[in-house]
């Protein structure tokens, strides 16, 4: 497998799968791993990951579920190429397809109602939120430079089948905006789980499931705590990562 400058291969601790990452550009984070744990994919379902980056979410979902086909859409050519090499590294070309394209054109690329499940770990920050990273790939991943929250939700809703499921990880400070846009496009929030760095700290991530065309009723799941103490994960995080706690 070809590796370029500053790239490395990381073990994903599941089914022997590995992934290629560039340590000087954007590597996947805990948010992507938690989303793959939170999302539900049933046997035979087709899944689309919007803004797939390194391809981490399709690879983890293929490992954890009995879905039929997994597709990742990524606008950055370098990230899409790297994701394709990771798919090949794991011999998953028959199950995972990486497509280079713009989230704003998702429905035009795939057609309406093409997927049972859509997942996304979109940029968290808009122009009003913080300083942009001077490195463009990182800035695109973190700030709404090439697409907005509404672009992601609108296109996700279009490509979902009726009663299809939409899964997102985001920041709690944008929850009102997230729920407003989800409901605008007939995606009804049905499950939500807040992620706290420590049990006594406010949440810094939120996991959301919305269903296309569902009735209004949401389940708030128990909080997910990341750390028990400094440098020691909570047992549930070890379980999610497939790691052994010594």
Q: Which residue has the tokens 């089948």?
A: 161
Residue 199 located in a structural domain: yes
Structural domain contains residue 146? yes
- The beta strand positions in 88-204, using DSSP E, are 96-100, 115-120, 160-170, 187-196
pTM: 0.91
Residue 246 domain-assigned (yes or no): no
Q: Is 118 part of any domain? A: yes
Residue range(s) defining the domain that contains residue 143: 7-241
Q: Which class for 133: exposed (0-12), middle (13-18), buried (19 or more C-beta within 10 A)?
A: middle
pLDDT of residue 143: 46
- 2 in a structural domain: no
Query: Per the domain annotation, does 1 fall within a domain?
Result: no
Count of domains observed in the chain: 1
pLDDT at 142 (0 to 100): 55
Q: Is 150 helix (H, G, I), strand (E, B) or coil?
A: helix
pLDDT at 132 (0 to 100): 45
Q: What is the C-alpha to C-alpha distance for residues 171 and 189, in angstroms, rounded to an integer?
A: 15
Quick one: pLDDT at residue 81? Answer: 96
**46 domain residue, yes or no:** yes
Helix (H, G, I), strand (E, B) or coil at 169: strand
Residue 60 lies in a domain: yes
- pLDDT tens string for the chain (246 positions)? 789 999 999 999 999 999 999 988 878 999 999 999 999 999 999 999 999 999 999 999 999 999 999 999 999 999 999 999 999 999 999 999 999 999 999 999 999 999 999 999 998 766 554 544 455 555 545 545 668 999 999 999 999 999 999 999 999 999 999 999 999 999 999 999 999 999 999 999 999 999 999 999 999 999 999 999 998 999 999 999 887 554
- The domain that holds 119 is classified in CATH as 3.40.50.150
pLDDT of amino acid 140 = 47
Q: How is residue 187 written in tokens?
A: 């995606």
């Amino acid at each position: 497998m070809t590796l370029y400058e500053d790239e490395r291969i990381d073990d994903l601790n599941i089914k022997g799968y590995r992934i290629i990452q560039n340590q000087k550009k954007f590597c996947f984070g805990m948010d992507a791993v938690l989303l793959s744990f939170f999302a539900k994919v049933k046997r035979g379902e087709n899944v689309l990951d919007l803004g797939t980056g390194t391809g981490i979410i399709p690879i983890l979902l293929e490992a954890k579920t009995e879905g039929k086909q997994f597709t990742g859409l990524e606008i950055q050519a370098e990230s899409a190429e790297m994701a394709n090499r990771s798919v090949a590294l794991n011999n998953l070309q028959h199950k995972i397809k990486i497509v280079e394209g713009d989230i704003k054109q998702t429905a035009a690329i795939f057609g309406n109602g093409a997927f049972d499940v859509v997942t996304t770990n979109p940029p968290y920050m808009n122009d009003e939120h913080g300083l942009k990273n001077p490195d463009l790939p990182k800035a695109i991943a973190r700030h709404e430079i090439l697409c907005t929250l509404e672009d992601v939700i609108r296109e996700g809703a279009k490509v979902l089948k009726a009663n299809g499921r939409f899964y997102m990880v985001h920041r709690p400070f944008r929850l009102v905006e997230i729920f407003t846009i989800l409901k605008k496009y007939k995606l009804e929030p049905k499950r939500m789980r807040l992620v706290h760095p420590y049990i006594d700290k406010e949440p810094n991530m939120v996991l959301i499931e919305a269903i296309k065309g569902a009735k209004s009723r949401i389940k708030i799941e128990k909080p997910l705590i990341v750390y028990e103490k400094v440098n020691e994960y909570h047992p549930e995080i070890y379980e999610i990562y497939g790691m052994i706690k010594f």
